[in-house]
Amino acid sequence: MKVLEIQDKKKRVSIVKGLILSAGNHIGSVHFRKRSDGSKRRMSYRLHVKEPTYAKAPSGKKSYKHRKINDENDLVTVFDCNKIKYNHKDRICGRGEYRSIPLDTVYRICVNGEIYKVI
Percentage with pLDDT > 70 across the chain: 92
Q: Would the pTM of this model clear 0.75, i.e. be above it?
A: yes
Across the chain, what does the average pLDDT equal?
89
- How many whole angstroms separate alpha carbon 21 and alpha carbon 17? 6
Segment 17-39 shows an average pLDDT of 94
Report the C-alpha gap between 66 and 71 in whole angstroms. 9
pLDDT at 8 over 90: yes
